Amino acid sequence: MAKRTSTHRSQARFNARVLPGAEPAPFPGFIEPQLATLRRSVPTGEDWLHEIKFDGYRIQGHLIEGRPALMTRNGHDWTHRMPALAEALARVPANHLIVDGEMIIPDSKGRSDHDALKAALGAGGQSHRFLFYLFDLMHLDGFDLRAAPLMDRKRVLKGLLDGIGPPIVFSDHMEATGQKMFEHACGMGLEGVISKRADAPYQSGRSEDWIKVKCVRRGTFTIVGYTREGNGLVAALHLARKEGRELSYVGKVGTGWSMAQSAKLRQRLEAIEAERPPVAVPGRPPKSVWVQPRLKAEVEYRDITTAGLLRHAVWRR
């Protein structure tokens, strides 16, 4: 992509320089992203702001002398995989910029469609379908803003994006109503919310200043097989659900139990082993042992993919 020759001007550039904590600094390059800590309840109080948790890919956007770059959470350059987003980012009125956000593909109801996102990235040439939700600003035209309070960084970011429009979108937030926002998000089938301390700096790595709470579903599924682990334990369970009179395979769950529970599961499963799976299993996973469909598992999960498989499944009992 051609380097931009004109210098962009925006009031946000000057607002950023006077933020408490803003420091003159050279462009730092890729910044290790800040990560949220998973909790079961939304924090309360006026110290927190609450954003929608998007079910997409974390992307860090750069402008270097006006030239856009899009980096993954691990610092890989994906600019070539999403040219439409790169071109849109180049319209932001800055010469040097680092922003943090999430790339999604929305479904017909505006929700993140993770399956569609994976398919589009695999197919290539579909970056026109992507939306890039920006929720933080770490560097702007010679100033490092990471030490500035989050609310101030977001205020400058919102002003910087004024008039840009999709596919670049400002990720808005709510204050002091986190639980209501969480309930609304779950009711809409969204992934959850991320709550952030309004006065906190941007800190690379996992932090208690960012709390994520996920919407989860719970269901009971039939155990149709398992994979063995050493020392008499279970590595994963193969699950199915009843559809009419037939069982339909829904994938695996491999987390949620203690070592003692895993050993007890192994003993019960060994007693009902079968030569063949009681359900059609795509690909016949290697090292799997099949069982008679006598036991059930209660599982929490995020969603069911378009292929009919559980996402982010956790065994409960």
d(CA 111, CA 306): 14
**SS3 label, residue 217:** strand
The closest alpha carbon to 273, from 298, 251, 290, belongs to: 290
What's the distance, CA 117 to chain centroid? Answer: 12
Q: Label the pairing between strands 273-274 and 288-291.
A: antiparallel
d(CA 194, CA 76): 24
Active site residue 53: yes
**SS3 label, residue 27:** coil
Which distant-in-sequence residues (6+ apart) come within 8 Å of 24 by Cβ? Answer: 142, 143, 144
Catalytic residue (choose from 53, 154, 196, 252): 53
Q: Which two tokens stand for residue 127?
A: 């970056």
The closest alpha carbon to 67, from 55, 52, 83, belongs to: 83
Residue found by looking up tokens 């952030």 in the block: 196
Q: Annotated catalytic sites, by residue? A: 53
